Copies of this chain bind each other. A is one copy, B any other.
C-alpha cells in the first residue's frame, strides 16, 4: 500500500522505518532537519503535508496538540485515504470525528511504546516490535478502515487490541499518566531529601520507580491535560490507597499493612 506519515518523531519515525519493509512509505515533518534525517534513513520524504495524498492511508503522528489540527487539514482532501492517528488520548479526536466530513474515515492507532529519547534520532522499528497497538474506532470508522488499521499495526510488528475511546482513555490514565505523576513526585521528594554526596545511594528500586519522570515535560503535560477527568479520577483512587497505608503505619497495624501489600503483589503479578 501507499502510506503517508505526518510527523517523523519517535513514534512516526519508528512507524516509517517499520512499515517501509512492506509498503511504500512517504513521510512529512515540519522540521527540515527531521526531513533530512528521515531521507538519509531511506524514507521517501515530501515537502508538504498535502503531498502525502493520494495514499491508501495517512498516519498522523505529530505531537498531541497538533493531531486534531492536522486531521482538520487532511479530512476534506483525503479522498479514499483512511486517516489514522497515534494520539495517546482519544477524547479530542473522537469529538472532532463526530463532526468531520461524512465521507472521510478516521481510526485511532495508538502504539503503546516509548522510551526516554525523542525525535527521529531515537526512532527504530524495534521500538514497536511486539508492543500492543490500540485500534480505536471513531464516528467516522467503517469495517474496511478498521481492518486496514489492524493490518498496518501487525505489519509494524505490533499486537492488535480493539477498544472504545472511553475505555482507551481510562486505561492510559491508569497505566501511563498516573505512573508519570507518581514518578515525578518520588523524584522530587528524593532530590529534596538526599544531598549530593548521597545521590549514589539510589539503587535499582528507586531508579525503576522514577524512570517515567524522564518523560519529556511537553509530552507528559499534554497527556495529563487532554485526559484530565480520567487522570484525576485515577489519581483519587491511587491516593485513597496511600491513605490506607498511612493510617496503617500511624496505628502500627502490621496485619492491615501486610494485607495491602499482599493484594498489591497479586495485582502486580496479574498485570505483567
Task: Report which A residues bind B (CB closer than 8 A).
Answer: 112-114, 131-132, 134, 159, 161, 163, 167, 170-171, 173-176, 178-194, 196, 198-203, 205-215, 217-218, 220-222, 224-225, 228, 231-232, 234-235, 237-239, 241-242, 245-246, 249-250, 252, 254, 257-258, 260-272
Residues of B within 8 A of A270 (CB): 191, 196, 199
Task: For the complex, give the distance between the alpha carbons of A270 and B186 in Å.
Answer: 13
Known: A170-B193, A208-B212, A231-B249. A267 touches B187 (CB 8 A): yes
Assess the A114–B205 pair: CB atoms within 8 A. yes
Partner of A272, one of B202, B217, B231, B238: B202
Assess the B265–A214 pair: CB atoms within 8 A. yes
Known: A185-B242, A264-B184. A209 touches B208 (CB 8 A): yes
Residues of B within 8 A of A263 (CB): 188
Assess the A215–B184 pair: CB atoms within 8 A. no
Residues of B within 8 A of A196 (CB): 270
Assess the B186–A179 pair: CB atoms within 8 A. yes
Closest to A179 in B: B209
Task: For the complex, give the distance between the alpha carbons of A184 and B259 in Å.
Answer: 11
Known: A202-B272, A269-B214. A264 touches B208 (CB 8 A): no
24 interchain pairs (CB within 8 A)? A113-B203, A171-B194, A171-B201, A178-B186, A178-B189, A182-B209, A182-B242, A183-B264, A183-B268, A185-B238, A185-B264, A187-B264, A187-B265, A187-B267, A193-B234, A205-B212, A209-B209, A210-B268, A213-B261, A213-B265, A217-B257, A217-B262, A225-B254, A235-B246
